[in-house]
Structures are given as structure tokens and as C-alpha cells.
Structure 1
Amino acid sequence: MSVPRDTPGRVVYRAASSSGSQLALVAPGLVVVLDGGCSPAVLSRLWLEMSEESTSFEGVVQTIPLLGADAVTSFAVAAWEADGPSSAVFSVVTRGAAIVDVHTADAEPRRFSSQGLRPWHLASFSNVTGLRFAGAPDAEGTTGELAISGDELPLVLGVASVDSVMWILDERQTSVVPRERSRPQTAPAAVDDGEITLERAPGRRTGRHGGAPESEAPAANRGRPSRVRIGTQTPFELHVPVCIGRRPRGPRQLSGDQVILAEVPSPTREVSASHLFIVQRGREVVATDLQSTNGTAVTLPGSPRIKLKQGDSIVLPPYSRVEIGDGNVIEILPAAD
């Protein structure tokens, strides 16, 4: 079965809360969730297969090794087959401890797992409104609606460390159930206008909602800051988010935080005033197109160039390149040694 090279709906994930969590790989029409201990060689081969223009569901599943030193004992794969006026058809494979909650328009949600079948359990589902991927330790039961907390991040194309993943086809079947915070909220601290320029980029900043400075947070809870290079400028560390554009303004929802405003030249006005937003969340760098007029092009390492739609987000591994127009190229670099 060949996979249509498009992704209906949207894919969102809850970032990993601990080491050893799962890995999610998202490509057009495909979502794969693996054990976090999967070897880099397997990830590389799998990503190459998922990135092929003519990839197939069977080819992706068969790329995951079941024997040997690199064997993957637990995984789930879902592929979109077709979409009609009121019907989305998916093929789903599970192995080991992986589970997929399948939500449909005409029946109660079904928790799909391997049930001990070898080498895996395969099924097709029609009228799908959403899928939720998680591991066996996850005890959250299925409900009539997919529940999101508002903490989820979008994933258009790439790899992320996750606790769970949701592929949402029908927003009407999605409910918002905020998760309880692990610590009480405090009054926001007094800040300036919430915006800074590259020249004033700080080495540390006040935590979100007036919490302790992030530089004082335990190192295990955050990744080392990646670096961003805009054009031929000297790379800078991503301690705070950066908004890039012809005449950028920081997103309003971040008014309580500092944000770097990076202005780039655009003589033909291909670059929007506020074009691209980049933020590091834990160990991952996420870029979001800010409803730009001419769009954003992204090239991930070893993958073909893709064009983001207005408002799309994507996880950027090191050495990704982002083009926003008029020759302006943004590069994501690893953390400094």
C-alpha cells in the first residue's frame, strides 16, 4: 500500500517527561512511535524510508528490525490510506507494549494493541476521527473524544521525544482537559516590554510566569541551548525564543517572556514583517511559520526541501536550514561544546 504524500488533520505530542521515553517520527501520511532506546542506525534507515516520495506502509514496517542487536521490541505505525467526504481510512500496526486508541465517527473508541501476536498486529480502520499513541504503562483510558491539555506541541515533519502522540482528524471530536500543574501559580513578575534585540540577548532570564530564573533550573529538565545562525551572522544561543522577519514583533502570547527580535533585509518584501518564530523546548528546537505571505521552506538533514503551510510548526534537528525569502537562510546548529 503506497502512502499518500499528505497529512490530513494535525499531529500533536506531549514532550517526554523523563529519559527513556518514546520517539515519534512524523512524515506526510505516516506516524511511527518507537521505544526511546532505539539505535541511531535504525532511526536513520527508518527516516530515509519514510522520506521517500514513493514509500509504502509495508516498506516502513519492514524497515523496523525485529531480530538482532538493533531489534525494536515495541512500536506502532499508522498510515493514512484514503479520505472521502466523511471517511478517513488508516492502517495500523502495533508490536510489544505499544498501544493505539482509535477514535471513529460511528463507534466507541477502541484500544488497539499487539495482543501478543507475532510479529505484529495489523488492522485497518475506517471513519477515523483521531488516533492516540502511547505505551503500555500509560493508564489513561479511552473516551468518546480525544483529550488535549493545551501543553501539546505540533509536529509536522521530524522526530521528537514524547510521552504520547495524537493524530487529530476531526477537531469536533477533541476536548480540552487542562492537566494539573505540578506547582502553584504565582503572580507574574514585573518585566519590561517583553522584547529584546540581538544585541541585548541575555544569558539568563526570568522563568515563565515569574518562576525562578531558568538558569537555576535543574540541568536534567532542560537541554543545552542550541545555536541559531541567521545568514552570515555569528551564531547565538537559543536561551530565549527568537522572532525573525522584516520588522518583527514578538507573539502576544509571550508578552510575559523575553524574545529576541531579529530583523533581516528584504528588498523585494518576500519576508513578512513577523515571519518565523523559533523556540527551544527541552532538547528540541521548534520553528513556526507566523502566517507568512510567501511561506517558509525547510531542509532537514538528509531530507528533501519542504514548504511549510501558513502557521505550520516543525521540529528542527541540528544542521537544519530554513529559508524565508530574499536569500535569508537560518541554520540550526548544535549546542556549543
Structure 2
Amino acid sequence: MTDRPPLRSYRPGPWFGILGTHATVLLPPSEKDRVASLWELVDTGAGFDEVLDALIAGGLRELPGFVLVSEAAAGSTREAGTITKVVVRGAARARFTTTDGEVHLEGDEATTWVERSLSGVVASVLEVADDGEATDLPAELRVDTGLVRVSRVEEQVVADEPVPEEEPAPAPPTHRAAPAAPLDEHDTADHDGLTQAGGWTPGPPPPGIPGQEPAPAVTRPVARLLVSTGESVEVDRAVVVGRAPESRRFPHDDQPRLVTVPSPQQEISSMHVEIRPGSGADHGSAVVTDLGSTNGTVLVQPGLPAEDLRPGVGVALLPGAVIDLGDGLTISVVQP
């Protein structure tokens, strides 16, 4: 059993979609001031009761509508058979496909809210009132977790496939192992603040540092970067942008293209961001990752609010996105 999120897509719209691994919250545009605190709660894996308490803390009169979908207990897996709790209020509706059939909920049919506990959920569709579909974006966009503007969110839970049992391989002949080689001093070097002291919890290495799998091979660039200095760079492999980028911190089989940019006020880090071809669900698009920059990176995607990139967390880029590194330096993302 895994702890991965379901397959999730959304249609752009006016409502706020707070999409976490264990919970989904949809809020109307009037609740913009509450979005940040709720995202922090959902992103840390809060359970159903905790998120619901935060939603109604100010009273129902101040909350015209919302949708909350969560597991019965934070930390459980979202597979078929898991108990899923849902609350719908106001101009919102939800449709769930379970192992026992379809379940439809309408939020505007109740004076308070509609609440259900469901088992065996394998797919869901959440829809809210829309003031007109966006015309400059695809009808459906892929997303795992994050904060987006939505009119519809669709999820499909994929259970893990059973792994066939294999007969144990015969034990190799016993031999004395050679002494381990000492670590090179570069193997333990910090990466521009990507340490626990830099303000985030160590985990799997972010793109662009030792241990990261090489960027997938592509036959053509997935995007083109227009740097405000006038430089144009194609993303056919990893691209590292910074005040003084270096390649020695990257594996030999994943050497990036280095783009050096000016930073008169020293706001841009030596190795600020990495843009590389995406893999898996992001295949065919470019993915940007903040490499632990000192002053951070702001990303503005078409039709979406500006967001501060979290160090080591990749975000798929849409054509027309603008990456702001500070010091007046921006990078526009266009089709190749």
C-alpha cells in the first residue's frame, strides 16, 4: 500500500482549489483571505475534523459555500475501500463512483450542509458555480497537489497492482568486501541552503543535485526560455539559471546547460532555479524547481495567482508562464 495521491485534474475557474494528499477543499472567491491558512493545514496532512473546524470557525453565515473531501483519518491511503468523508454547502455539487454505485450530493439543497461518509470510492467529480470558462487554457489540466483556481476537480483513485512473488535467488558466494572509499568533500557540500538549517525538512534530493535521476531524453525541446536579458534557451535537458551556476554538483550523465544572469543587488543566488523536461505525468512539459535560493522565486502561470516556489518542489510550467528571480530578472516560458 502506498501513500500517493490519486490521479487528479481540474478545469480553471473562479473558486479556490486547495488540493492536498489527504484532503480537497474548494472555496468561493469571497474567501480569498482564508486560503493561505487552509492550504498550510491541508498541506501538513490535517484530518477531516481539523479541516472542517477551521472552515466553520467563523460561522456558517460567513461561509456561503464550500466543498471538503477527506479521509476518515489523516495518514491512511486513498485506495478503493478507504472511508471517505465529504461535506458540500452552497452552489456546489459532488458525484462519487463507489464499488456500490454512484452517489450524488447537491450543496444548495440544505440550509446548513450535506454530509456523507462513503466507502469504496474509486472516482469523484466536484463542480462549483462558474462565471464562464477560460478560453486561453486547456479544458482540463493535470495536477497532484497545490493551490489552483477551479470550476471542476476530478479524481481517480488507482490501487496498487499486486507484486508477483518471486522465488528467492540463490545466495552468492561469500567473499570479503573491499573497504568503502572515503567520501569526496563535494559529496557532503550544502547546495545553496538546501539543508535543514535553510528552512525545510530534508527528504529526497531535489532536481539538480547528486542522487537525482537524469532528465528524460527528449527528441525535441519541451519549451523555450526567454530571459529578460535577451537570451533565448531551449529546454531539451536540464537548464540551471543563477548568478554563478556550476555543473560540478551534477552527475556526469546529467550535465545541465548553465545560464549566467546579472544580479546587481545580489538578490539572485549563484544557483537559483532549474528548468528541465518533465517526466511521468509531466512528460512533454517543462518543470521548474527552486534550488534553495536565498530570496526565493515567484511563478506566475496564465489564469492562476502568483505563487512562491517551495525549495526542491518541482512545478509544471504552462506556456506563457513567467518566472521572477528578483533583481528585475524574469524568464518567460513559450512553446519551442
- TM-score, normalised to structure 2, is 0.49
- TM-score, normalised to structure 1, is 0.49
Asked which structure has the greater CA Rg, the reply is: 2
